[in-house]
């Protein structure tokens, strides 16, 4: 992630969205993390508007899977970094810094935060869950 793309993230939305394009998680396909175990840039051909953002997918099957149950595939905490949330800050994660844990996708602002999460995911999630309501209240619906 470049600092430029990080600064373009809207932190006033409940889902991290690129302010310039309106794309959720910078246009990466959220389903690909589960099916291909890697981030993949979605295509304009396979777009879906959901929860105030435009989501892109690499193929029709991934778009359909997302439509069937978006809560499974969307990044937890709307794509905000769970370590930062645990510190009370709505910091946008970037889809190139990610982890799947307990069948949920988490994206992070930095590799250091991802490593901190990986060292003790339960503690990181407990802290994020406690602080998430207050952090989410700062974000515009």
Of the chain, the percentage scoring pLDDT greater than 70 comes to 89
Each residue's pLDDT tens digit, 68-86: 999 999 999 999 999 999 9
Q: What is the mean pLDDT of residues 118-130?
A: 97
Strand partners, 87: none
Average pLDDT in the chain: 90
Sorting pLDDT into bands at 50, 70 and 90, what band is 12? very low
Which pLDDT score, from 0 to 100, does residue 141 have? 60
Alpha helices in the chain (DSSP H): 3-7, 32-35, 60-68, 70-73, 82-86, 111-119, 121-138
Which pLDDT score, from 0 to 100, does residue 138 have? 84
Q: How far apart are CA 8 and CA 79, in angstroms?
A: 14
Q: What are phi and psi for residue 52, nearest 5 degrees?
A: 80, 10
Report pTM.
Answer: 0.87
Q: How far apart are CA 120 and CA 55, in angstroms?
A: 30
- Which H or E run contains 18? strand 17-18
pLDDT at 38 > cutoff 50: yes
Each residue's pLDDT tens digit, 84-106: 999 999 999 999 999 999 999 99
Which pLDDT score, from 0 to 100, does residue 85 have? 97
Q: How far apart are CA 66 and CA 72, in angstroms?
A: 8
């Amino acid at each position: 992630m470049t600092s430029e793309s990080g600064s373009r993230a809207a932190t006033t939305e409940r889902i991290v969205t690129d302010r310039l394009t309106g794309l959720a998680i910078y246009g990466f396909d959220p389903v690909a993390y589960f099916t291909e175990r890697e981030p993949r840039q979605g295509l304009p051909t396979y777009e879906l508007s959901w929860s105030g953002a435009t989501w892109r997918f690499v193929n029709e099957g991934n778009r359909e899977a997302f439509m069937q149950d978006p809560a499974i595939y969307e990044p937890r905490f709307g794509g905000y970094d769970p370590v930062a949330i645990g510190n009370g800050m709505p910091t946008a994660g970037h889809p190139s810094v990610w982890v799947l844990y307990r069948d949920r996708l988490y994206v992070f602002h930095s590799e250091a935060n991802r490593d901190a999460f990986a060292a003790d995911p339960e503690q990181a999630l407990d802290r994020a869950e406690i602080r998430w309501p207050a952090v989410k209240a700062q974000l515009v619906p």
